[in-house]
Structure 1
Amino acid sequence: MADNALTDKTGDLARHSVARSSWAMVAGYSVMLIFLVLCGNYVYSHIQEFAFIATVSLPDLGVAGLLILLNFGVGALQLDLFLRHYGVCLRYTELMALTGSMCLGNLVIPMRGGTGAMALYLKRVHEFNFGAFGVVYAGTALLTVLVNTAYALVGFMVLYVRYGMLQPALSILVACLFALCCYLTVFPPLLIAKDRGWLRPIFEAANSWHFLTRRRPLLLRLTLLLALTPLSLTGAFYFIYQGLGKALSVDAVLITSTLGNLANLVPVVPGSLGVFDTITIAIPQLFGLDGPRAVCATLTYRVLFFFWALLWGIPGGLYLLSSLRSRKLQSDSHPKE
């Protein structure tokens, strides 16, 4: 009887999990579709205002593309630092394959499907447990918020000192996020799990992050490495705006890119399409960029990023599938007793 009750409970949990995933996918694709329809309608209704596209500077867009490519290399190095902390050492080829395929997967699958696929790959090929991967994922998100809010605060201060421009609501929100992330990064609490309930894995992951942050040199390297991502994104958008014939100040672009990076953490929508884009379209207009150029700049960034994701993600995915097959053949030929 007890076994039957446990089986029924497990089945109910599985069905609820599938239902939640289905609703998340529907919501994610719906937001993406709505954004694309609105964006297409805006372009169609303001088509004459997009005449500047004929004078786009291709060299500037080329530089922007190279700066976007830098993000993939930074992501691979950051993943390497985390994995080495847990004793897993990968070749750089495999790291780039993981990073490229993860980015491509996240662009087309809701709820960070590419990240989930990476977790499964590391588990099956390198026996990297899901708890440790949860620390890697959450730690990366936490450091990303910390770095981007720090950059955004600097940008707000520069704008106020140089131009007298003040955005109080955004500044307060960003400052609160920065303070919270500082606390969770520098002084994360050590939690004690008194039982073995469903919260225990969360407690264990939190404590694993606590011990990781005690390694200050590792934490510093991770933070400095992730600090390159907003800079490369800022540079990419700066050259995109310049290529479209309307250069913005570096501090205005810095605020746009860092707030866009924060919005990019929203997991429901594939590639945060429609969330990230709303930020990178709306914020530059606060600093004098016209609507058509703001839309065009965001779409240009999306095209460049998707190009690199395809270029690295498809061969990377094939490489990872080959590794999975090799691992499966080894397991079949040497079964565990």
Structure 2
Amino acid sequence: MSWKNLLKWGFFAALLLLGARYLWVHSEDFSKMVEIRPVFLPFLLLTPVFFIGLLGILNKSLVEAFGIRLTFLEWFGLQCITNFGNYLLPLRGGAGTRAAYLKVKHNFPISSFLSTMGATYLINTFLAGAIASVCIVWIGDRVEHWGMTLTLLLGASFGLLLLMIFPFPFRFPDRGFFQ
């Protein structure tokens, strides 16, 4: 058996042992899972898959802007590995595995990867803000005190999100300060 195969199986065994340890330490949490009504199980199981798919499509679209076309197995599998790495490794280590894969397989520069990663975080932040804004407005109808500052802040965030989704062409003037 070669060192490479031995290393693969050793890593797999270590992951299995860590998973078993997690199940043992948190067994009381898993006993609470019996209390979940079966009607909600498909929703609970399919929601993470849906979000992994959305993030995979987002990353696929961003990488296509640089001329790299990913197959379904690549963009979906890469997002699954990225999410898994983010849970296991510190400091968003899953992004590092995605960068390494794109660098080795498609010769994608790290600087371009960092720009796609920044765009992903920006889009995710604004989408989370928009969803939170809708939830706060929905809850705000039931709350007596509603601040004008919060309303303006959420409105500005939502406006920026719309500008990101539907950008308008902007051209600097030919003369003046921007020349």
Pairwise same-fold verdict (TM > 0.5) = yes
Give a deviation string over 1:96-115, Cα, whole Å, max 9, x none: 12111111111110111110
Q: How much does 1:62 deviate?
A: 2.4
RMSD of aligned residue pairs (Cα, Å):
3.6
Q: Any residues of structure 2 matched to 1:187-266 within 5 Å, and which?
A: 216=167
Tell me, in whole angstroms, the C-alpha distance in 1 between the residues paired with 2:52 and 2:120: 14
Tell me, in whole angstroms, the C-alpha distance in 1 between the residues paired with 2:106 and 2:86: 22
Tell me, in whole angstroms, the C-alpha distance in 2 between the residues paired with 1:53 and 1:84: 41
Q: How much does 1:166 deviate?
A: 4.5
Higher helix share: 1
Tell me the matched-pair count.
141
User: Which position in structure 2 is the counterpart of 1:70?
Assistant: 50
How high is the TM-score relative to the length of structure 2?
Answer: 0.65
Structure 1, unpaired ranges of 5+ = 1-35, 187-212, 218-337
- Among candidates 148, 157, 178, match of residue 178 of structure 1: 157
- Among candidates 105, 108, 111, match of residue 128 of structure 1: 108
Tell me, yes or no, if the aligned pair for 1:153 and 1:174 is still in contact at 8 Å: no
Higher relative contact order, structure no. (Cα contacts within 8 Å, ≥ 6 residues apart): 1
SS of match in other structure, 1:89:
coil
SS of match in other structure, 1:86:
coil
Q: How much does 1:216 deviate?
A: 3.9
User: Which position in structure 2 is the counterpart of 1:113?
Assistant: 93
User: Which position in structure 2 is the counterpart of 1:139?
Assistant: 119
Q: Any residues of structure 2 matched to 1:62-101 within 5 Å, and which?
A: 62-101=42-81
- Among candidates 143, 146, 157, match of residue 164 of structure 1: 143
Tell me, in whole angstroms, the C-alpha distance in 2 between the residues paired with 1:145 and 1:96: 21
How high is the TM-score relative to the length of structure 1?
Answer: 0.36
Tell me, yes or no, if the aligned pair for 1:119 and 1:130 is still in contact at 8 Å: yes
Structure 2, unpaired ranges of 5+ = 1-21, 169-179
Tell me, in whole angstroms, the C-alpha distance in 1 between the residues paired with 2:107 and 2:160: 32
